[in-house]
Amino acid sequence: MQVEVWSDVVCPWCYIGKRKLEAALSRFPHADQVEVVWRSFQLDPSVPEGHTEPTLPALAAKYGRSVEEMAGMQRRVEEVAAAEGLHYHLVEGVRGNTLLAHQLIHLAAEHGLGGAMKERLLRGYFEEQRSVFDVDSLVTLAVEVGLDEAEVRAALADRRYLAAVREDIDTARALGATGVPFFVVDRTYGAAGAQPAEVLLQLLERAWADSHPLLTVPAADGCTDDSCAV
């Protein structure tokens, strides 16, 4: 069974959603037969590549709130994250273009390290206040999860995974995703947002039941509710 997750590496709810998915999988008896695939999605592709700026004023301007109001909203998200064991620093955060980071995840996936790379980027950005927007910063994080530095630099320079990132984004739109995280099981069942682990577990169980129907054979001698055949 395949679970595809569309998300962005600067989306606070996506890291929370990742933890909720992991909690659901820990309770799913067939978790060893589930493949999790991390798909690309950009919350704000309009940010120029190479440009970074403080997140808080940008969000305040976008949503027509004061910086103080936005800071309060960010602190509430930090509290939700803390309940999942995550230690965010949203108020001091910066934002930038995540196109290179998504290309890096595709490269890592080809080496069986897609999940590890996704986790490292999220932890670096949200918990360590690391940049995930420039080549040098991405290379450092990539090497930490086991990727080759020269290969990473070459891949990000020639953009060999750019088409794959664009395809992910187009597929998300085709599937009706307007935000992230967006979970899709076997391209049949979907759930939007950082759903509770219980909801994601139910999604997994339903998908598993539908793809593994009960096998029946012709009836043999047995008992009914109130009597036994002899």
State pTM to two decimals.
0.91
- Domain assignments of the chain as residue spans, ordered by start: 2-52+96-211
Q: What is the Cα–Cα distance from 19 to 53, expressed in whole angstroms?
A: 27
- Per residue, the 3-state secondary structure of 76-106, as one string, reads HHHHHHHHCCCCCCCCCCEECCCHHHHHHHH
pLDDT digits (tens, 9 = 90+) for 104-153: 999 999 999 999 999 999 999 999 999 999 999 999 999 999 999 999 99
202-218 as b/e, with b when 16 or more CB fall inside 10 Å? Answer: ebbeebbeeeeeeeeee
pLDDT at 9 over 90: yes
Residue recorded with tokens 């990473």:
152
Domain 2-52+96-211 coded CATH 3.30.2000.10: no
